[in-house]
Amino acid sequence: MTISKNQTLRPILMVLTLLCLLFASGCSTTPKQEADLAPPLHPPQELIKPDVEYAVDIYDPLEGFNRRVYMFNYYFDTYLFLPIVKTYEFITPNFVEKGVSNFVDNVYEFNNFTNNLLQLKIKKTGITLARFVLNSTLGIAGLLDPATELGLKRQPEDFGQTLGHYGVGNGPYIVLPIFGPSNLRDTTGLVTDTVAFSNLGPPAWVDDDDVTLIFTGVAAVDKRHRESFRYYQTGSPFEYDLIRMLYTAKRDIEIDR
């Protein structure tokens, strides 16, 4: 059986024609946007090291369960948490919101201090201690942030990063109810940080359950207020996979920092 040259080219031409039509239809329905030529605040070369392999294939043996939790988080966030946050934003002046954020950050310097110390990052430990002292005094109990104005930037670290610093792997990917993306290592770190903070940190210094409960609620609302992410607004039909990849890559970069 002989196949002519035209018969060979016909399927290729049909595919190319179809691709052209799809491209044209996409262009006709996508609004024209001007490119943002402003340089990024943090160029990739500052964060990504060429000699480090960042995760692409992510171990997710609980994917079915994780996806259901992801959907639960969407409903919780959309119909309960975000309305609370929006009410907070509506009734609270911007300068008060900023003061609350500064206060929360100052209280959680305890976690930054302990984890920088555990990782033997002496300079960052000293900066964190200096920040806490300055902001707790000159910053009026942390409502202001004079330390940053003096060039002492926050040195965020958590116990998940500490474990990663000493070579502990990610483990299986996990979506936590309310808290969102995590993995076994970071979940262990979250629990450890919470226990240490409650028993050795500021809540133990204050020793008042009502004050601790109020602070925890305020900190949760403040954290969501500062987080711009909204479920199912990425424009991707593969949002779960995208968030899983971004979270894992972000944690790899933070540990390697």
Domain membership flag for residue 30? no
Integer angstrom CA distances of residue 168 from 56, 64, 162, 210: 18, 25, 9, 36
Domain membership flag for residue 29? no
Q: Which tops the pLDDT comparison, 16 or 195?
A: 195
**pLDDT, average across residues 132-147:** 97
State the average pLDDT for the chain: 85
Looking at residue 97, its pLDDT comes to 97
Looking at residue 46, its pLDDT comes to 55
Domain membership flag for residue 139? yes
**pLDDT, average across residues 3-24:** 43
Looking at residue 33, its pLDDT comes to 37
Amino acid at 251: R
Q: Which tops the pLDDT comparison, 176 or 34?
A: 176
pLDDT digit string (tens) for 207-229? 999 999 999 999 999 999 999 99
**How is residue 31 written in tokens?**
């609004």
First to last CA, the chain: 64
Domain membership flag for residue 134? yes
CB 135 within 8 Å of CB 102? yes
The burial class, CB within 10 Å (0-12 / 13-18 / 19+), for 58 is middle
Identify the domain containing residue 228 by its residue range: 55-256
Whether pTM exceeds 0.85: no
**How far does CA 145 lie from the centroid of its chain?**
22
Looking at residue 53, its pLDDT comes to 55
Domain membership flag for residue 8? no
Domain membership flag for residue 6? no
pLDDT digit string (tens) for 169-201? 999 999 999 999 999 999 999 999 999 999 999
Number of domains in the chain: 1
Quick check: 17 pLDDT over 90?
no
Quick check: 23 pLDDT over 50?
no
Domain membership flag for residue 17? no
